[in-house]
Structure 1
C-alpha cells in the first residue's frame, strides 16, 4: 500500500547528508514513533477520515 511519500530513511539521509541512524533517532525523539510506525498511523488516520466522509468505500479501497 502506498500512502503519501514513500521515500526510505536512506533516501532522506542522503538528501540531508547525514546517516540513516541520525534520521531514525531524530524522528523517534520528535514523534515517539519510528518513521515506519508514523507512516502507518498517518495512512490509517487518513483512511479513517475518508471512510467517515465517503459513501463509497469500495472506490477508495480500489485506489490502494
Structure 2
C-alpha cells in the first residue's frame, strides 16, 4: 500500500469509494483533499484472516536430503 501511495499517488484499491459508501457525510468533507493527494497521506491498517484448504508441496521434502546424509 505504501509503495503505491508514494509511487503512483493513486487510490487503486478503492479506499475512497469504500469511505464514500460507508460514511457519505465524512466523504463530502475529505473528497477535495483525497483527490489532491489525501490518499497518499492515508494510514492503512491491514487485518488478514486466512484459511488454508490444501497444503501441497512444490518440490521434494528436505527430509529426503537429511536421510541421505545419515
Give the number of the structure whose residues are more often helix, by fraction: 1
Larger Rg: 2
Higher relative contact order (CA 8 A, sep 6+): 2
State if a TM-score over 0.5 links the two structures. Answer: no
